[in-house]
Structure 1
């Protein structure tokens, strides 16, 4: 094989984390895979950092598209990197641009050396923001933004309860709700997390175990669940009649919503480039923070996903770093 052919082959392949069968992290293997080519309106990004949402291996969209099996699949849909190729019709981005954003959930993700994504799913990343920070912010920050602005239309002075106010999405909910001028109450899992919750903007902090206190019944205009493990009845009870409950990971109980006279909703985040650009500005200005719990190299991507069953060493997202 001559040098020209070797170079050509290298351009057609990449290293990636893939699963050939449905399942959990045990199905993931680090291996050579075809390098994606951008189509019309798409860009190819050399990935520098990819963020993990552990639940994505349980989503139907991860494994199929329009009912068709997609395996082998590449996980991780939150990323930052550098544009290396643009497809026909791309007008606003160019090779060399540093970007961050999301991959549609029914496409191969960013746990790879390269990812192809529609141009409108990314925004430019400021030079003062690290790739890991940008990747850590993309999905949870957009989710928090949509929950507060589109689902709840939060305004100054409203009383907002956030269940899990220092988690991946919860930390952004706390920061954004504070910026909107709401009176923010959050729940945390331990006394140790109380200081961080207040630093993020919480006015009041409830430590796990005291959420069902009768004093909190009907005390809030709205409540948001950022934990996702069976919405507890006390969350519905905490909201005044006519208020709202928003769930981020599973549909809420219609029966409990009716019982307490609240409107309960569930949504899947939409990618909005204008909001990604605003997010980039907030990160660059240091007005919000993206927490990183731990990092793994791409070659240890399986261990990164396996860590979801273990206690985190710190609050924040788990990041896969790609050289």
Structure 2
């Protein structure tokens, strides 16, 4: 089986397409033939060693977390997934390897693919939507009538947060790049600012929650934007940001893994048209290394880049 893998932690030059043997199927696992796999920043952060303290030291390691495909086999204890089901899902970060021809993973990490979505579209759902859900609902506790500010409201996580929030009657304001202002307005963002807009400095005490998807909003400024009892949610926990936020109970961290239990709900919302993933570019699996390298190096694509197998 071919997959994108790396032989040590480091930069893009450590990646290559190599041969790997699938693990034996466990009783609570499924084997999926991958049709599409979406590229997330989290994937190269893992390769760079961001979570190496929590992962075994065995190399080579596979890359990739989010995917969609067709179930080829199920373990003896799996009841809700069947062979030939079309599914989407996410790999446990300790066992990454979705940029591959096939994957084996626990059945709770997959959900049935909405018939209305293509495989590339479904592959775009897990990490961005799980992260957004954990941030705005589980941590920020937003609900109908809340006012939410999203820094990076047109990125994959930000756009997912906008869609989820609006579906629950949450009022959304946000910031994005100048080129994306109209996109944000069309998505339903009420007040949109460019990152360099000086009016952002005046947005104090206005929001029930602030969600920084990029890690570029100063923590102190983000906290100042909150109403009394509001929450600032961060998904980019650098030591400096955490040190600044730890002195306030209003500073919260959110991670995609907190939203894994929402996969079936995410599938339902996608079926209903609430969640509309945007595929920016579909790349053949043979070009995976160059595609990942380009995005990691700063090439900007409106929408997710997806590998096609």
Scaled by the length of structure 2, the TM-score of the pair is 0.91
Aligned match of 2:17: 30
Q: Is 1:177 aligned to 2:165, yes or no? A: yes
Residue 171 of structure 1 deviates from its aligned partner by 0.3
Q: Is the 8 A contact 1:187 1:211 kept in 2?
A: no
Matches for 1:21-170 after TM superposition, within 5 Å: 21-59=8-46, 64=52, 66=54, 68-170=56-158
Q: Give deviations 1:152-189, integer Å, cap 9, x for gaps.
A: 11112211110000001000111111112122101011
Aligned match of 1:310: 298
Structure 2: gaps (5+ residues): none
Q: Is the 8 A contact 2:25 2:104 kept in 1?
A: yes
Aligned match of 1:300: 287
1:169 partner SS: helix
Residue 203 of structure 1 deviates from its aligned partner by 1.0
Matches for 1:181-220 after TM superposition, within 5 Å: 181-190=169-178, 192-210=179-197, 213-220=200-207
Q: Is the 8 A contact 1:52 1:76 kept in 2?
A: yes
Q: Is 1:284 aligned to 2:271, yes or no? A: yes
2:257 partner SS: coil
Residue 199 of structure 1 deviates from its aligned partner by 2.2
Displaced runs of 4 or more, over 4 A: 60-67, 271-274
The worse-fitting range, judged by mean Cα deviation, of 148-157 and 74-83 is: 148-157
Aligned match of 2:7: 20
Scaled by the length of structure 1, the TM-score of the pair is 0.87
CA RMSD between the two structures: 2.2
1:233 partner SS: helix
Q: CA–CA distance in 2 between the matches of 1:162 and 1:263?
A: 16
Are residues 62 and 100 of structure 1, via their aligned partners in 2, closer, same or farther at CA, if it must alter by over 3 Å?
farther
Q: Give deviations 1:4-50, integer Å, cap 9, x for gaps.
A: xxxxxxxxxx1111111211221111122213331120001000111
Are residues 133 and 223 of structure 1, via their aligned partners in 2, closer, same or farther at CA, if it must alter by over 3 Å?
same
Q: How many residues align?
A: 305
Q: CA–CA distance in 2 between the matches of 1:166 and 1:275?
A: 22
Are residues 78 and 62 of structure 1, via their aligned partners in 2, closer, same or farther at CA, if it must alter by over 3 Å?
farther
Q: CA–CA distance in 2 between the matches of 1:151 and 1:16?
A: 35
Residue 287 of structure 1 deviates from its aligned partner by 2.4
Q: Is the 8 A contact 1:187 1:208 kept in 2?
A: yes
Greater Rg over alpha carbons, structure? 1
